[in-house]
Protein backbone atom coordinates (compact mmCIF):
# COMPACT_ATOMS: atom_id res chain seq x y z
CA UNK A 1 0.00 0.00 0.00
CA UNK A 2 1.20 3.49 -0.82
CA UNK A 3 1.39 5.62 2.34
CA UNK A 4 -1.23 8.34 2.42
CA UNK A 5 -1.20 11.58 4.30
CA UNK A 6 -4.13 11.84 6.70
CA UNK A 7 -3.30 14.65 9.17
CA UNK A 8 -1.36 17.93 9.20
CA UNK A 9 -0.85 19.70 12.52
CA UNK A 10 -0.62 23.47 12.81
CA UNK A 11 0.54 24.80 16.16
CA UNK A 12 -1.50 27.67 17.60
CA UNK A 13 -1.29 29.79 20.75
CA UNK A 14 -5.01 30.40 21.27
CA UNK A 15 -7.17 27.51 20.13
CA UNK A 16 -10.45 29.40 20.21
CA UNK A 17 -9.07 32.35 18.20
CA UNK A 18 -7.53 29.92 15.70
CA UNK A 19 -10.83 28.02 15.45
CA UNK A 20 -12.70 31.23 14.62
CA UNK A 21 -10.11 32.21 11.98
CA UNK A 22 -10.11 28.81 10.28
CA UNK A 23 -13.89 28.34 10.39
CA UNK A 24 -14.31 31.62 8.49
CA UNK A 25 -11.35 30.98 6.18
CA UNK A 26 -12.29 27.41 5.27
CA UNK A 27 -16.06 27.79 5.47
CA UNK A 28 -16.12 24.64 7.62
CA UNK A 29 -17.04 23.75 11.18
CA UNK A 30 -14.37 22.09 13.28
CA UNK A 31 -14.53 19.23 15.73
CA UNK A 32 -12.97 19.55 19.19
CA UNK A 33 -11.15 16.29 19.88
CA UNK A 34 -9.41 17.31 23.11
CA UNK A 35 -8.94 20.46 25.19
CA UNK A 36 -6.09 21.61 22.95
CA UNK A 37 -7.04 20.16 19.53
CA UNK A 38 -9.58 20.98 16.84
CA UNK A 39 -9.91 19.06 13.58
CA UNK A 40 -11.09 20.20 10.14
CA UNK A 41 -11.84 17.55 7.52
CA UNK A 42 -10.21 18.92 4.37
CA UNK A 43 -11.10 16.35 1.75
CA UNK A 44 -9.62 13.28 3.40
CA UNK A 45 -6.73 15.02 5.17
CA UNK A 46 -7.40 16.40 8.64
CA UNK A 47 -6.09 19.87 9.40
CA UNK A 48 -5.43 19.78 13.14
CA UNK A 49 -5.02 22.92 15.20
CA UNK A 50 -2.91 22.18 18.27
CA UNK A 51 -2.41 24.34 21.35
CA UNK A 52 0.55 22.48 22.85
CA UNK A 53 0.43 24.37 26.16
CA UNK A 54 -3.16 23.26 26.78
CA UNK A 55 -2.17 19.69 25.93
CA UNK A 56 0.63 19.80 28.53
CA UNK A 57 3.50 19.93 26.01
CA UNK A 58 6.22 22.15 27.47
CA UNK A 59 8.08 22.83 24.22
CA UNK A 60 8.17 26.53 23.34
CA UNK A 61 5.70 27.71 20.72
CA UNK A 62 6.90 27.80 17.12
CA UNK A 63 4.75 28.19 14.01
CA UNK A 64 4.94 25.61 11.25
CA UNK A 65 8.15 26.40 9.33
CA UNK A 66 6.69 25.50 5.92
CA UNK A 67 3.62 26.46 3.89
CA UNK A 68 0.53 24.24 3.90
CA UNK A 69 -1.23 24.06 0.51
CA UNK A 70 -4.95 23.74 -0.22
CA UNK A 71 -6.81 23.38 -3.52
CA UNK A 72 -10.16 25.19 -3.67
CA UNK A 73 -12.93 25.47 -6.23
CA UNK A 74 -13.44 29.23 -5.83
CA UNK A 75 -10.18 31.08 -5.30
CA UNK A 76 -11.74 34.57 -5.24
CA UNK A 77 -14.29 33.54 -2.61
CA UNK A 78 -11.59 31.88 -0.50
CA UNK A 79 -9.42 35.00 -0.73
CA UNK A 80 -12.39 37.11 0.42
CA UNK A 81 -12.93 34.73 3.38
CA UNK A 82 -9.21 35.01 4.24
CA UNK A 83 -9.58 38.78 4.47
CA UNK A 84 -12.87 38.49 6.40
CA UNK A 85 -11.15 36.16 8.89
CA UNK A 86 -8.57 38.87 9.59
CA UNK A 87 -5.79 37.69 7.30
CA UNK A 88 -3.86 39.77 4.78
CA UNK A 89 -3.98 37.61 1.65
CA UNK A 90 -1.56 38.26 -1.19
CA UNK A 91 -2.77 38.96 -4.70
CA UNK A 92 -3.91 36.02 -6.78
CA UNK A 93 -1.18 35.17 -9.27
CA UNK A 94 -0.35 32.43 -11.74
CA UNK A 95 3.02 31.00 -10.77
CA UNK A 96 5.72 29.94 -13.28
CA UNK A 97 4.89 26.29 -12.51
CA UNK A 98 1.25 26.84 -13.48
CA UNK A 99 -0.58 27.20 -10.17
CA UNK A 100 -2.97 30.09 -9.75
CA UNK A 101 -2.88 30.90 -6.05
CA UNK A 102 -2.58 33.31 -3.16
CA UNK A 103 -0.78 33.16 0.19
CA UNK A 104 -1.92 34.20 3.65
CA UNK A 105 -0.57 33.75 7.17
CA UNK A 106 -2.82 32.74 10.03
CA UNK A 107 -2.73 34.79 13.27
CA UNK A 108 -0.04 32.45 14.65
CA UNK A 109 2.32 32.90 11.71
CA UNK A 110 1.55 29.64 9.90
CA UNK A 111 1.87 30.15 6.14
CA UNK A 112 -1.00 28.93 3.94
CA UNK A 113 -1.41 28.79 0.18
CA UNK A 114 -4.70 28.39 -1.66
CA UNK A 115 -4.55 27.25 -5.29
CA UNK A 116 -7.33 27.04 -7.84
CA UNK A 117 -8.46 23.43 -8.13
CA UNK A 118 -7.06 21.95 -11.32
CA UNK A 119 -3.98 24.18 -11.31
CA UNK A 120 -2.15 22.36 -8.49
CA UNK A 121 1.47 21.55 -9.32
CA UNK A 122 2.20 17.94 -8.39
CA UNK A 123 5.57 17.57 -10.08
CA UNK A 124 6.65 16.39 -13.48
CA UNK A 125 5.83 19.49 -15.54
CA UNK A 126 8.02 22.34 -14.33
CA UNK A 127 11.71 22.49 -15.17
CA UNK A 128 13.33 25.92 -14.69
pLDDT per residue as tens digits for the range 61-88: 999 999 999 999 999 999 999 999 999 9
Element (H, E) at 72: strand 68-72
Q: What is the mean pLDDT of residues 77-104?
A: 97
Cα-based angle 49, 99, 117 (whole degrees, multiple of 5): 65
pLDDT, averaged across the chain: 95
CATH number at residue 74: 3.10.180.10
At 50-62, the pLDDT tens digits run 999 999 999 989 9
Does the residue 42 lie in any domain?
yes
Share of the chain above pLDDT 90, in %: 93
Total structural domains within the chain: 1
Please give the pLDDT value at position 124: 83
Please give the pLDDT value at position 74: 98
Domain that holds residue 62: 7-116
Write out the DSSP string of 93-108: EE-TTS-EEEEEE-TT
Amino acid sequence: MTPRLYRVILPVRDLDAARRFYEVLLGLQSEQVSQGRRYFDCGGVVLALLDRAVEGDERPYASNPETVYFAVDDLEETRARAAAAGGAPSAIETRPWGETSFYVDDPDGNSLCFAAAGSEFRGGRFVP
